[in-house]
Structure 1
Amino acid sequence: MSQVVFYVFATEEKSNSVAISAHFAHACRVAAFFYAQNKKVFIYTDSQEDAFAVDEYLWQFDGDSFVPHNLLGEGPKFGTPVEISWQAPVHPRPILINLSQKTPDFAINFQKIIDFVPYPEPQKIAARIRYSTYKKMGLTLSTQTVDNNSTAESTNKTED
């Protein structure tokens, strides 16, 4: 059964980069974490523009630790450890990082789904709908609060 973790931004989002929102930046940190564990990750976005923004951010992400990534259809035949797209994945991967405002139709195919509850109210509403959809799918749900002033996170809730 797939496990879904929602990262909840408790305060207004702040990012070190003007070009990318805090939850996108956090998604890149999560992707780097899974890459360090030798896990393949698929980052799903709403649009080509968002996918390009995540791709560009990962190139500049951390000078000390490169995260191999590519946009879907670019790079090696079976992709790099982190693949980014606004379209459904071609090859199976264990981890989905959802940056879309919608629940992907293909989400059930992943072992672990990372999703976000950004601070702005319209995005919170969309996240609540995704949470409800995942719950109806019978997935295991948990939340973690992200403190924008530090990297500390705390687990708040788990549901089956």
Structure 2
Amino acid sequence: MAHARFYLLDSIGDDNLLPFVCQQVSDAFRQGRRVLIMASDKNQAEAIDELLWQLPAQAFVPHNLTGEGPPSGCPVEVSWPAASQGKPWPLLINLSQQVPSVAQRAQQVIDFVPQDDSARALARERYKQYRQFGIALHTEQATLTAND
């Protein structure tokens, strides 16, 4: 059964979302997992790409934007709704306001509950949609760890 984890951003604030995402990606890569990050748009995807390049050397994550990189792909791909995502990914990190179609084929989904009321309402709708897909749902507070 697929699982989805919603992280509440109350304790770290909406401004720390992208660093938190990079932390999650780095942890998943260290566990040998392949990850698709679904950004809200191409600008956010490029911002995530840049943040991943800025990780310390010991936390390096091989990644690329959709449509770039080697033909066989990288363990981590950063995409956005208008880009093509054909293959299923074991782990989907969703930053878009909608549930991407690839979510139904993921083994695990990470999504977020922002502090902003209108964004929080959209998160509730995504939560309901994941539940309709039969995905087991969990919620926890997001916490940032210090870089070594």
Using the size of structure 1 for normalisation, the TM-score is 0.83
Question: Hey, which of these two has a bigger chunk of helix by percent?
Answer: 2
Matched ranges for 1:144-155 at <5 A: 144-147=140-143, 151=145
Question: Is 1:67 the counterpart of 2:61 in the alignment?
Answer: yes
One of 17, 39, 44 as aligned partner of 2:38: 44
| Number of aligned residue pairs | 144
One of 26, 42, 52 as aligned partner of 1:58: 52
Question: Is 1:80 the counterpart of 2:54 in the alignment?
Answer: no
Q: Match for 1:61: what amino acid?
A: L
Structure 1, unmatched stretches of 5+, are: 15-20, 153-160
Residue 109 of structure 1 deviates from its aligned partner by 0.6
Q: Deviations over 1:98-155 (max 9, x none)?
A: 01011112211100000011111121111111011111221100011124xx549xxx
The 8 Å contact of residues 12 and 120 in structure 1, kept in 2 or not, is answered as: no
Same amino acid, percent of matched pairs: 39
Call closer, same or farther: CA 1:118–1:62 in 2, change over 3 Å.
Answer: farther
Residue 88 of structure 1 deviates from its aligned partner by 4.2
Residue 12 of structure 1 deviates from its aligned partner by 6.2
Give the Cα–Cα distance (whole angstroms) in 1 for the partners of residues 63 and 102 of structure 2: 21
Q: Deviations over 1:26-51 (max 9, x none)?
A: 11111111100111100001211111
Of structures 1 and 2, the one with the larger relative CO (CA 8 A, separation 6+) is 2
Residue 90 of structure 1 deviates from its aligned partner by 2.9
RMSD: 1.8
Residue 68 of structure 1 deviates from its aligned partner by 0.6
Residue 61 of structure 1 deviates from its aligned partner by 2.3
User: SS at the partner of 1:90?
Assistant: coil
Give the Cα–Cα distance (whole angstroms) in 1 for the partners of residues 118 and 9 of structure 2: 13
- Alignment correspondent of 2:134: 138
- Structure 1 consecutive aligned stretches of length 4 or more whose deviation exceeds 6 Å: none
Structure 2, unmatched stretches of 5+, are: none
Using the size of structure 2 for normalisation, the TM-score is 0.89
